Structure 1
Amino acid sequence: MRKMNVAKKIYCRVFQLGMRIALPFLPYREPKLIEGVSGVPAVLREHHIDCVMLVTDAGVHGLGLTAHLEEELKAAGIRCVVYDRTVANPTVANVEEARGLYLEKGCQGLIAFGGGSSMDCAKAVGARIVRPGKSLDKMEGLLHVMHRLPLLIAVPTTAGTGSETTLAAVITDEKIHHKYPINDFSLIPHYAVLDPDVTLNLPRQLTATTGMDALTHAVEAYIGRSTTKGTRAAAIEAVQLIFANLPEAYYNGHNREARANMLRAAYLAGTAFTKSYVGYVHAVAHSLGGRYGIAHGLANSVLLPVVLKAYGSAAWKKLAQLARATGVSDSASDEAAAKEFIAYIDAMNAAMDIPETLPGIRTEDIPQLARYADHEANPLYPVPVLWGPDQLENMYKQVQEVSTHDGNGNSNHSQTAA
Structure 2
Amino acid sequence: MYKFYCRSYQRILQAASYFMPWRKPVLLEGKNSLARLPGFIKSKNVTTLLIVTDKGIASLGLMDALLSGLEKENLSFFVYDGTVPNPTIDNVEEALRMYQDNHCEAIIAFGGGSPMDCAKAVGARIARPRKSIMQMKGVFHVRKSLPPFFAIPTTAGTGSEATLASVISNPQTHEKFQIDDTSLIPRYAVLDPLLTVGLPGNITATTGMDALAHAVEAYIGNSNTRETKMLSRKAVNLIFQNIEKAYAQGNDLEARENMLKASHYAGLAFTQAYVGYVHAIAHALGGTYGIPHGLAVATVLPHVLEFYGKSVHRRLAELADVSGIGSPTDSSGQKAAQFIETIKRLNKTMGIPEGFSVINPQDIPLMAKRAYAEANPFYPVPRILSKQELEMLFSIVRIQ
Superposed pair shares fold, TM > 0.5? yes
Tell me which residue corresponds to 2:173: 176
Of 205, 209, 227 in structure 2, the residue corresponding to residue 208 of structure 1 is: 205
Aligned: 1:49 with 2:49: no
DSSP-derived class of the 1:134 partner: coil
Tell me which residue corresponds to 2:4: 10
Runs of 4+ aligned residues of structure 1 deviating over 6 Å after TM superposition are: none
How far off its partner does 1:153 sit? 0.5
Whole-angstrom CA distance in 2 between matches of 1:160 and 1:254: 17
Tell me which residue corresponds to 2:111: 114
Whole-angstrom CA distance in 1 between matches of 2:358 and 2:256: 32
- State percent identity of aligned pairs: 49
Q: Aligned pair count?
A: 396
Of 341, 344, 355 in structure 1, the residue corresponding to residue 342 of structure 2 is: 344
Of 351, 368, 375 in structure 2, the residue corresponding to residue 353 of structure 1 is: 351
Of 274, 279, 284 in structure 1, the residue corresponding to residue 276 of structure 2 is: 279
1:123-164 Cα shifts (integer Å, max 9, x gaps)? 000111121111111111100011100111000000000000
Q: For residues 103 and 359 of structure 1, do their structure 2 counterparts lie closer, same or farther at Cα, with a shift above 3 Å needed? A: farther
Of 232, 249, 252 in structure 1, the residue corresponding to residue 249 of structure 2 is: 252
DSSP-derived class of the 1:267 partner: helix
How far off its partner does 1:292 sit? 1.0
Of 131, 136, 150 in structure 2, the residue corresponding to residue 134 of structure 1 is: 131
Of 184, 187, 190 in structure 2, the residue corresponding to residue 187 of structure 1 is: 184
Range 30-39 or range 332-341, more displaced:
30-39
Whole-angstrom CA distance in 2 between matches of 1:193 and 1:321: 31
Of 296, 299, 319 in structure 1, the residue corresponding to residue 296 of structure 2 is: 299
Whole-angstrom CA distance in 1 between matches of 2:60 and 2:168: 25
Tell me which residue corresponds to 2:370: 372
How far off its partner does 1:8 sit? 0.5
Q: TM-score, normalised by structure 2?
A: 0.98
Tell me which residue corresponds to 2:15: 21
DSSP-derived class of the 2:151 partner: strand
Whole-angstrom CA distance in 1 between matches of 2:20 and 2:335: 35
Tell me which residue corresponds to 1:393: 391
Of 280, 287, 294 in structure 2, the residue corresponding to residue 290 of structure 1 is: 287
Gap regions ≥5 residues in structure 1:
1-6, 403-418
DSSP-derived class of the 1:158 partner: coil
How far off its partner does 1:332 sit? 3.5
Amino acid at match of 2:144: H
Tell me which residue corresponds to 1:198: 195
Whole-angstrom CA distance in 1 between matches of 2:48 and 2:357: 43
1:49-107 Cα shifts (integer Å, max 9, x gaps)? 11101100000110000111000001100011000110000000000000001111111
Tell me which residue corresponds to 1:320: 317
1:225-248 Cα shifts (integer Å, max 9, x gaps)? 110110000000000000000000
Whole-angstrom CA distance in 1 between matches of 2:248 and 2:357: 25
Amino acid at match of 1:306: H
How far off its partner does 1:112 sit? 0.4
Whole-angstrom CA distance in 2 between matches of 1:329 and 1:140: 42
Amino acid at match of 1:397: S
Tell me which residue corresponds to 1:263: 260
Amino acid at match of 1:395: L
How far off its partner does 1:191 sit? 0.3
Tell me which residue corresponds to 2:146: 149
Whole-angstrom CA distance in 2 between matches of 1:232 and 1:130: 32
Range 358-367 or range 223-232, more displaced:
358-367
DSSP-derived class of the 2:95 partner: helix
Amino acid at match of 2:360: R
Tell me which residue corresponds to 1:72: 69
Whole-angstrom CA distance in 2 between matches of 1:325 and 1:204: 26
Whole-angstrom CA distance in 1 between matches of 2:314 and 2:284: 29
Of 24, 27, 33 in structure 1, the residue corresponding to residue 27 of structure 2 is: 33
DSSP-derived class of the 1:226 partner: coil
How far off its partner does 1:168 sit? 0.2
How far off its partner does 1:361 sit? 1.3
How far off its partner does 1:270 sit? 0.3
Whole-angstrom CA distance in 2 between matches of 1:332 and 1:251: 31
1:186-231 Cα shifts (integer Å, max 9, x gaps)? 0000101000001000010000000000000000000001101100
How far off its partner does 1:22 sit? 2.2
Please, what is the CA RMSD of the aligned residues? 0.8
DSSP-derived class of the 2:18 partner: helix
Whole-angstrom CA distance in 1 between matches of 2:242 and 2:227: 22
Tell me which residue corresponds to 1:160: 157
Gap regions ≥5 residues in structure 2:
none
How far off its partner does 1:18 sit? 1.1
Whole-angstrom CA distance in 2 between matches of 1:45 and 1:65: 21
How far off its partner does 1:27 sit? 1.1
How far off its partner does 1:37 sit? 1.2
Whole-angstrom CA distance in 2 between matches of 1:44 and 1:133: 28
